[in-house]
Structure 1
Amino acid sequence: MDRGPTPSRRTVLAGAGAILAAGCLDVQATPTPRDSDWRMYGRGAGRTRHVPDARLPRDGVEVAWDRQVSASNWLPPIVANGVAYCQNANGLFVIDPVTGDGPHVGTYGGFGRGGPMAFGSTKAYDDGVLVVPYGDTVGGYAVAPARWPDEVSGLGERRARWWTDGTETGARPVGGGSGEVAWGAAPVVSGDNVIGVNAFSNTAWAVDANDGSVRWQFDLRNAVENVSEPLGLVVDESTETVVVAVRDVADLLHVGIDVREGISKWTHEYDGDDPRPAERNALAASDGSVYAVARTDDGKAAQLLEFDAETGDTGWTCSFERHLHNGVAVDGETVYHLGTVDDSSSTDAFAAAAIGRDDGEVRWEERLDDAPGFDFGMTVQPPTIAGDCLLIPGGGGLHALDRTNGEHLWTFTELVDTAGGSETERVASTPAVVTDDQIVLGMTVGLYGLE
């Protein structure tokens, strides 16, 4: 049987709500973030995908553990408080990222299949909250790693502490949203806020991680008249700004919202030809700057755009030939762009570029002898910066480049049997999540810990 949290959800929420409303709870949120955490898609609220203190080998990695499954369709892993959560088509792994030990919880129905999860600290619960999107509806679940049942059915309602669509909050699913979420638009956690977007109402919103109560809701149509849909969001925590990418009919615009008050700061439009939205993973924020990727009208080039997170003022623009955009990652000095170029054959080839944050100039460009893989619809993952390495998931495995010059360091792959009796490389199907100098990676029909 699927066990719920103890004491009862209604009792805890009522008590926590009363304490929080009275302003009498001064304890530190628990569990507090660790340097080894990777709490949401993109690692942090700015989705920089940067692990500065990681120490990875330059001559290759070995398998520390692996968990094989009968079907892939991975969602990105998250790591919090020494526990990794990784969803695949058959269930949810709740495991130690160092040893790989822990249950593979069977999931039947829609639980966890809407998009990347996130993890938030709470004051009301000592285990935090697991944030799971379902289209325009988001669920906040009891984490309690040691108390996961063997199976979770339906939407896992008995583990849910709250549900919200950014307009209302309830103990049962609210709103009409269902289905998958664009990964770049998955909720982020910043402080004790869970922040997301609602594509049906074209709003951005923030709720309390403790009980899901709505703190603010912002109608994106107040900033952009012809919003077609929100495409993604990040939070620049240094300026306390939520940045939402929106499609204005066919054009790309960005909206800045105060993370505490939910009021408009700016709307960023582009001079000259209006750029087209990039396909995915096209937004990051760090230290007061926002980096967005757009496409030219002819679809042959990518544009990396910098602007100020506090004011929306335009900085530099860097353009380079790319057939497709795949993702960005940001460290203290450099923005790394991953895309594909047409190599005049039947497939595209990966191309990585390093662009200086101070001037928008290309520091280096390298092509890889690989292309994005196709793994049950999950294609094209963004890069990860880990110490001195730039990690690139591809169709032929996981590649590591020297982030200072683009030199190829190593490739990890394993072979899997095909239906025709031959073998092929396993696809790296998730971003490379780095925690405690170890990599957690979903590949074709297997979850791996690499060291």
Structure 2
Amino acid sequence: MVDLHRRAYLRAVTAAVGGATAATGIQSGALERVAAQTDADGQSGSDGFSQAAPWSQGGAGAANTGAAPTSGPRTDLQVEWSYTDVDAWGLASSPALVDGVLYFASLDSDIGDSGRVHAVDASDGSARWQFETDMRHETTPAVHEGRVFVGDGELLALDTEDGTELWRSEAVVRGSVRAANGTVYAATDDNVITAFDAADGTEQWRFDPATDSVDWSAYTAPAVAGGTVYASARVNPGDGDLRSVGFALDAETGDRQWATEFPAARSGGAPAPAVSDGSVYVDVGDLFALDAATGDVQWSASDVDSPVVQDGAVYALRDGGAFVALDAATGEQQWQTVWETERDPGGRTELVATEDTLYVGTFIGGVFAFDAESGEQLGQAPDGGFSDGRCPPTVAGGTAFLGVWNADSGLYAITEGDGSSGSTEPPAPEVELRTGPDQSYCVGSQITFIREASGPGSTNDFGQDDYTWKMDFDTGDGESGASEPMTETAGELVRHTYDEPGTYEVAVVGEGPDGRTARDTVTVDIAECAGPTARIATDPADAERRDFALMDEVTFSAEPSEADAGVERYEWDLDGDGEFEKRGDAETVVLGEECREETLTVSLRVVDTQGATDTASVSVSTMADDA
């Protein structure tokens, strides 16, 4: 078993902290809070950000239908607010939404095992709390009974109110989890389905799908509905055996109720089964519809995946940018559509659905909305796309919440405009200008300025808006002064040297082809700086006044210099030949080791960051051994 037990700690933040850009006038109707009746699977029967959440976990609820009876934006899609106080690689999964709060995880890097779990207000993107962890969480949390359950590693339980860690499992969880009726269900890394008590994390039961003849391995999250757990397993794909099995378990005991084998298997990860109206839909490379009570195959369809089930229809993706609507009872195709976009979206996420709209995210094209009855494309946001959208949105109360990773890292709230804007342009990027570490603000010194931009339009990758960045080093107004262009990649460096002392406001200004701009400033004070002063200390002290025996040791140390510009390096001439061949804060010499001269002169040269120097010397004497 991989040991993923790492220390994690809570970092509470105030609502004003974080990279969230507060909403500027979300209509009250878009944030309606209507009381709702929630069933045991965590689904909500209401619209809006109700106290009974319509999107409590992956797949919209424990049954994993991917659909919720709520409303979302359909046309004139616009980014309402963004929350960008996330780690460098952003979100690889959708948020969960409970009681008006969004819960999600962000990644610190593309391969590392670290990141944060966030709680964010759904109305304006303000931060509630953050929890830092040394695990790599790439799936949607499950929120159940006042706890946030995070998979992808040890199962982590956090308090929804303040993010306090309540417990963590010893077992390592594969992917996401499902929670219902006081229990959390997951596939664990020993290839079994495990049920955990939601209150304290104790294991209630474990089910191993392997039989005497087939070594089945549970590898994806289960679904839970009607007191039954539905899951799938496969043979190790490295063995070349493309078979899989779906099975049903008693939710309280883990006893198997039925198992159905399929002549197909996914080579990679697979979604959890979807359960609706007495049927189970299992995606194992081909899509199978099973009777939920018996496991009998009702119908199957090839070349479709990631099913979403709602109101007698199964919506599924098809290769080539298409998706289809199938009759849930018979599997007959009702319609097929291909979304329209000016460029290749670069890949797509799973589908999700509300009461009348389908949504799919794309890797570089943003999120698309389609009419659930006809398949007609309704809208796209943002029009320029995001650099990396790897998860479908979470939708409730007229808003779609989309997680993005990599260059545009953050969580974006997408709402429906009034049609007056005529545009779904992404917002201008956020930009920060700062100076590099250990800078010397002296006349003649080279100062490094760092520009970091984030958010849509900040990079030129994947057809993003092309922003031109310029620096104004003198006046800070971005129009006059010694401006010079910068390249169009985030995190760019530019260096500048001032010839006169004074206070300078430095500005970076980015302008897009549509006229949108982003700007930030930093102030630097430039002074005439004194050069360095070289001084040598010896050990033993007062070495110049002593006579040493051959092979005695003397240590020469550079005393701290008072250089205004800061010391760049210390250089040493240890044999009096005028060549400074050593560098460092101190050097030790063995007298007579290299030569038997009666007097040895050691010199120190101090070089500051502007290139100014100063030199000091110390001479020590030896009692020559003439024997």
TM normalised by structure 1 equals: 0.71
Distance in 1 separating the partners of 2:371 and 2:184: 35
Does the 8 Å CA contact 1:188/1:234 hold for their aligned counterparts?
yes
Does the 8 Å CA contact 1:372/1:380 hold for their aligned counterparts?
no
Q: Which residue of 2 aligns with 1:67?
A: 83
Q: Which residue of 2 aligns with 1:328?
A: 307
1:265 to 254, 257, 279: 257
Question: Deviation of residue 104 (structure 1)?
Answer: 6.5
Question: Deviation of residue 109 (structure 1)?
Answer: 2.8
Q: Within 5 A, what are the aligned runs for 1:315-394?
A: 315-320=298-303, 325=305, 327-341=306-320, 350-369=321-340, 380-394=348-362
Q: Is the aligned partner of 1:197 residue 2:165?
A: no
Q: Is the aligned partner of 1:113 residue 2:134?
A: no
Distance in 1 separating the partners of 2:391 and 2:312: 25
Distance in 1 separating the partners of 2:387 and 2:10: 36
Distance in 1 separating the partners of 2:356 and 2:138: 33
Distance in 2 separating the partners of 1:390 and 1:114: 23
Report SS of the residue matched to 1:187.
Answer: strand
Does the 8 Å CA contact 2:43/2:56 hold for their aligned counterparts?
no
Question: Deviation of residue 108 (structure 1)?
Answer: 5.5
Q: Is the aligned partner of 1:404 residue 2:383?
A: no
Distance in 2 separating the partners of 1:213 and 1:198: 14
Distance in 1 separating the partners of 2:271 and 2:331: 19
Q: Which residue of 2 aligns with 1:225?
A: 214
Q: Which residue of 1 aligns with 2:117?
A: 92
Distance in 2 separating the partners of 1:307 and 1:335: 13
Distance in 2 separating the partners of 1:289 and 1:32: 17
Q: Percent identity?
A: 23
Q: 1:446 to 1:133 in 2, by over 3 A?
A: closer
Q: Which residue of 2 aligns with 1:154?
A: none
Distance in 1 separating the partners of 2:398 and 2:73: 9
TM normalised by structure 2 equals: 0.52
Which residue type is aligned with residue 318 of structure 2?
A: G
Distance in 1 separating the partners of 2:212 and 2:247: 7
Q: Which residue of 2 aligns with 1:447?
A: 411
Distance in 1 separating the partners of 2:337 and 2:368: 12
Report SS of the residue matched to 2:210.
Answer: helix
Q: Which residue of 1 aligns with 2:491?
A: none
Question: Deviation of residue 197 (structure 1)?
Answer: 1.5
Does the 8 Å CA contact 2:11/2:130 hold for their aligned counterparts?
no
Deviations 1:402-442 (A, max 9, x none): 11111111111254xxxxxxxx7444332210122211111
Distance in 2 separating the partners of 1:355 and 1:399: 20
Distance in 2 separating the partners of 1:109 and 1:316: 44
Q: Within 5 A, what are the aligned runs for 1:226-241?
A: 226-227=215-216, 229-238=217-226, 240-241=227-228
Does the 8 Å CA contact 1:48/1:331 hold for their aligned counterparts?
yes
Q: Is the aligned partner of 1:294 residue 2:299?
A: no
1:77 to 95, 109, 133: 95
1:305 to 288, 303, 308: 288
Q: 1:246 to 1:360 in 2, by over 3 A?
A: same
Tell me which moved more, 85-94 or 306-315: 85-94
Question: Deviation of residue 236 (structure 1)?
Answer: 4.3
Report SS of the residue matched to 1:233.
Answer: coil
Q: Which residue of 2 aligns with 1:244?
A: 231
What 5-or-longer segments of structure 1 have no aligned partner?
6-28, 122-127, 149-158, 165-173, 296-302, 342-349, 416-423
Deviations 1:203-228 (A, max 9, x none): 2121211111222211222487321x
Q: Which residue of 2 aligns with 1:132?
A: 150
Distance in 2 separating the partners of 1:114 and 1:51: 22
Question: Deviation of residue 63 (structure 1)?
Answer: 2.2
Question: Deviation of residue 313 (structure 1)?
Answer: 1.1
Distance in 1 separating the partners of 2:271 and 2:200: 29
2:390 to 413, 424, 429: 429
Distance in 1 separating the partners of 2:138 and 2:289: 30
Question: Deviation of residue 309 (structure 1)?
Answer: 1.6
Tell me which moved more, 385-394 or 90-99: 90-99
Question: Deviation of residue 385 (structure 1)?
Answer: 0.5
Distance in 1 separating the partners of 2:323 and 2:379: 15
Which residue type is aligned with residue 195 of structure 1?
A: Y
Question: Deviation of residue 312 (structure 1)?
Answer: 0.9
Distance in 2 separating the partners of 1:236 and 1:215: 15
Q: 1:103 to 1:223 in 2, by over 3 A?
A: farther
In our comparison, the structure showing a higher alpha carbon Rg is 2
Does the 8 Å CA contact 1:413/1:426 hold for their aligned counterparts?
no
Question: Deviation of residue 35 (structure 1)?
Answer: 4.3
Question: Deviation of residue 445 (structure 1)?
Answer: 1.9
What 5-or-longer segments of structure 2 have no aligned partner?
1-7, 13-39, 45-50, 109-115, 416-627
Does the 8 Å CA contact 1:114/1:132 hold for their aligned counterparts?
no
Q: 1:73 to 1:328 in 2, by over 3 A?
A: farther
Q: 1:372 to 1:215 in 2, by over 3 A?
A: farther
Which residue type is aligned with residue 232 of structure 2?
A: A
2:275 to 255, 274, 285: 285
Question: Deviation of residue 255 (structure 1)?
Answer: 1.6
Q: 1:339 to 1:107 in 2, by over 3 A?
A: farther
Distance in 1 separating the partners of 2:287 and 2:340: 24
Distance in 1 separating the partners of 2:297 and 2:103: 38
Does the 8 Å CA contact 2:180/2:224 hold for their aligned counterparts?
no
Deviations 1:14-54 (A, max 9, x none): xxxxxxxxxxxxxxx9x997444311111111211112232
Which residue type is aligned with residue 288 of structure 2?
A: L
Does the 8 Å CA contact 1:352/1:365 hold for their aligned counterparts?
yes
Q: 1:432 to 1:134 in 2, by over 3 A?
A: closer
Structure showing greater relative contact order (alpha-carbon pairs closer than 8 Å, 6 or more residues apart): 1
Distance in 1 separating the partners of 2:213 and 2:247: 8
Q: 1:354 to 1:282 in 2, by over 3 A?
A: farther
Report SS of the residue matched to 1:42.
Answer: helix
Distance in 2 separating the partners of 1:312 and 1:88: 37
Structure 1 runs, 4 residues or longer, greater than 6 Å off = none
Does the 8 Å CA contact 1:190/1:235 hold for their aligned counterparts?
no
Distance in 1 separating the partners of 2:120 and 2:206: 35
